[in-house]
Structures are given as structure tokens and as C-alpha cells.
Amino acid sequence: MNPSLQRAVTSFYNLIYEAQTFATAMARIDTAEQEHYAGRIEGLNWVLDRCQELEEMDTNLTPSSLQRILGEVKSDLEHELSVQRREKGRRADGREEALNFVADYLSSLITATEIESAKTPA
């Protein structure tokens, strides 16, 4: 995998981790919105768990292998978002918000991976 794609994947994972850290700090400060932030934390924790492979990723991973992994994460994310939209539970709004935040960045990363896969001979 080229260094730029490697940095993008690492940045994606770190972005999710930092968003989770931020939501945790905000939940402690803004007690009026504590439940909303708790929902964000739950959503971001779900994504971090699902993206564990990205953190442990080997630099020798091919763009097509990465594309497969990201596609699986996106499929799971879309399913989780549909569940959140149906349930609208106590923390669903914050959780859905966190998942939507990640979905935008994940789509961009998938596009970058597709571009890189097209450059690399199979």
C-alpha cells in the first residue's frame, strides 16, 4: 500500500478515536447533553470495535484487500444506521449522529482506495 493511502487509513482511525475522546470529555462537562454524548460515545465505540483491523493493519496490505475490509465496515455501518433509524431509542440520536459522521469519512476513504486499486495491477 502506498504511504499516502496508509496515512489516510491511519488518520481515519485516529479521527474516530479522537471524536470518541472528545465526546467523552464533553459528556463530563455538558451534563445537560450527557445522554446525547453518551450516544455518540456508544456509536463511536461500535465503529472503533468494527475498525480494529485498520489499527492492526499491515503496511503490505494491498489496496484491494483494504477495499474489501472497508466495504465490510461500510455494509455493517449502513445496517447499524438502519437499526438506529428504526429504533430511535434513548441514545439513538447521538449514536446515529456519530455513525453518520463516520460514514462520510468512510465513503471518502473507500473512494481513495478504489482509485489506488485502479492504479495497481491485479
pLDDT tens string, the chain, 122 residues long: the values are 788 888 888 899 899 999 999 999 999 999 888 888 988 898 899 888 888 777 776 666 788 888 888 899 899 989 888 887 777 665 557 888 888 889 999 999 999 988 888 886 65
Residue 40 structural domain: 3-119
Q: Residue 71: how many CA atoms within 13 Å on its side-chain side?
A: 8
CA–CA separation, 56 and 95 (whole Å): 25
CA–CA separation, 22 and 26 (whole Å): 6
At 121 the three-state DSSP class reads coil
Q: Which residues contact 60 (CB under 8 A, 6 or more apart)?
A: 1
Instruction: Enter the pTM of the model.
Output: 0.79
Overall number of domains in the chain: 1
Sign of the torsion formed by the C-alpha atoms of 85, 15, 57 and 43: negative
Write out the three cell numbers for 17.
478515536
